[in-house]
Structure 1
Amino acid sequence: MTSQEQTIEVSKFFNPDQILKDIGIEEGMIIADFGAGNGYMTFSAVLLVGSKGTVYALDVKKSVISHIRAEIKARSISNIKLIWTNLEIFGANPIQDNSVDVVLIVNTLFQSRKHKQMLMEAKRVAKPGGLIAIVDWKKESAPFGPPVDERVSIEKIKQISYDMELNKIKEFSAGKYHFGMVFKK
């Protein structure tokens, strides 16, 4: 399945382009896509940041990185940087502290039990005043998606973020089955 086909599949659940615009992604920004998966947010973000911006695509799975690398080559994109890393380990990824305008964590937290560690890593790389945007499955029954007990509640994310002194600036619906929140460092 190509990234375009995967983006169409994802768009059944939410609209990546609209979410990125709502977050405020602009030309020239530096974006980090934590848990890039098939790249649907990465490839949408790179169109918005343009040639003057950079998108880091980070994932723990080598197969994911290889897939995105092939798409980058096929599309002749030069401003997506791939990073194979464990986002649950503070400081494990090579992105410099305080260097990213927006950290995206989309459909990633439900796959982890170390939510605080992942958010600490997002906070580390975000610039002062930078944004951390989270989109994930609502913790309610749905005809598909991960089991409800694997989903992270909005309340838990709010509490972790509050404890980390992140300021919630926006909460939004990211589709029928997803929630969205934006925090400022």
Structure 2
Amino acid sequence: MRGRRRLVVAVLALAVALQGGCRPAADPDAGRSASARGFPRADRPVARIVSNEFSTEDERDHLGEARLVMEWSHISPGMTVADIGAGEGYYTVRLADKVGDKGRVLAVDIDPGAIERLGRRIEKERLDNVSIRLGTPDDPRLPEASFDRIFMVHMYHEVAEPYAFLWHMRPALKPGGSVVVVDADRPTASHGTPPDLLFCEFAALGFRLAAFARNPGLSGYYARFEAVGPRPAPSAIRPCRLAANAAGALAAGAGPS
């Protein structure tokens, strides 16, 4: 009888052990959207979105911000451009004026309230060459092969899924098109992006740095990237490690190199 009890106890213990060993592994993509799954996670904190207004438009115009960025980006009449993270439309309305009636501007934001306010502004200022679109945190939802320039001004540090975001964005460029980033040189958690980390994340998606400059009027730096070669498969993307990219900073300059 005792032998039978020992056998029963042993069988139960084995069953418990096997059950514990067969537990499914934790999902590495838990909490991510379907369109971000399969891409590497970013090895960096992400700044919380606190406002759609970086500073007053008068202050930015006084510093010559938009004029300088559009000049360095070679914006000209007839171009088609995207303004991602458009917010209240500071760049949107100035880009619309620069590209003229034959050009087009698509303003994108993930905040429905900002999109609604921007829509009212566009209607009030009668900007017939501007369209608006609601994007997602990992996909700006841009039409393919449509843009000469894509602008990301003081917002890249808020992108929680940079690899998925850049992968979805890249096909939207026309041949010869480029992506313009303006950001502050400070940690992402402090509403900036260290330049070396920016370069690394863009390079992981097959972008080449075409121009870089620091300028006080930008409250940071200007970077422009061009797509080179085929877009990598999500599984082939090599993520950047924050510790390996924390030290670098390019020399200051008056204009893009």
Choose which of 161, 176, 182 in structure 2 pairs with 1:135. 182
* 2:222 match: 180
* 2:85 match: 35
When residues 82 and 139 of structure 1 are mapped into structure 2, their CA distance, relative to the original with a 3 A threshold, is same
Shift of 1:11: 3.9
Choose which of 193, 203, 218 in structure 2 pairs with 1:152. 193
**1: CA distance, partners of 2:177 / 2:90:** 22
1:156-171 paired onto structure 2 within 5 Å: 156-171=197-212
* 1:97 match: 144
> Does structure 2 retain, via aligned residues, the 8 Å contact 1:101–1:130?
yes
Give CA-to-partner distance per residue, 1:133-181, whole Å, 9 cap, x none: 00012216xxxxx853x43211111012222221211001243631110
Choose which of 60, 72, 77 in structure 1 pairs with 2:110. 60
* 2:122 match: 72
Shift >3 Å, 4+ stretches: 9-14
> Does structure 2 retain, via aligned residues, the 8 Å contact 1:34–1:87?
no
- The TM-score with structure 1 as length reference comes to 0.84
| Higher normalized strand content (fraction of residues) | 1
The alignment's C-alpha RMSD in Å is 2.2
Give CA-to-partner distance per residue, 1:58-78, whole Å, 9 cap, x none: 000011111111111111110
> Does structure 2 retain, via aligned residues, the 8 Å contact 1:14–1:174?
no
Give CA-to-partner distance per residue, 1:65-94, whole Å, 9 cap, x none: 1111111111111010000111513xx61x
**2: CA distance, partners of 1:31 / 1:21:** 14
Give CA-to-partner distance per residue, 1:78-112, whole Å, 9 cap, x none: 010000111513xx61x321111100011111222
Secondary structure of 1:118's match?
A: helix
**2: CA distance, partners of 1:115 / 1:13:** 29
Secondary structure of 2:216's match?
A: coil
- Return 5+ residue gaps in structure 1 as ranges: 141-145
Question: Between Structure 1 and Structure 2, how many residues are aligned?
Answer: 173
Does residue 106 of structure 1 match 2:147?
no
**1: CA distance, partners of 2:159 / 2:203:** 19
- Return 5+ residue gaps in structure 2 as ranges: 1-52, 228-257
> Does structure 2 retain, via aligned residues, the 8 Å contact 1:135–1:174?
no
**2: CA distance, partners of 1:11 / 1:147:** 27
> Does structure 2 retain, via aligned residues, the 8 Å contact 1:122–1:132?
no
Give CA-to-partner distance per residue, 1:4-60, whole Å, 9 cap, x none: x94214346661122111111110000010110111111111111000000000000
When residues 87 and 132 of structure 1 are mapped into structure 2, their CA distance, relative to the original with a 3 A threshold, is farther
AA of the residue aligned to 1:98 = A
AA of the residue aligned to 2:145 = N
When residues 175 and 117 of structure 1 are mapped into structure 2, their CA distance, relative to the original with a 3 A threshold, is farther
Report sequence identity in percent: 19
Whose radius of gyration is greater, 1 or 2? 2
* 2:233 match: none
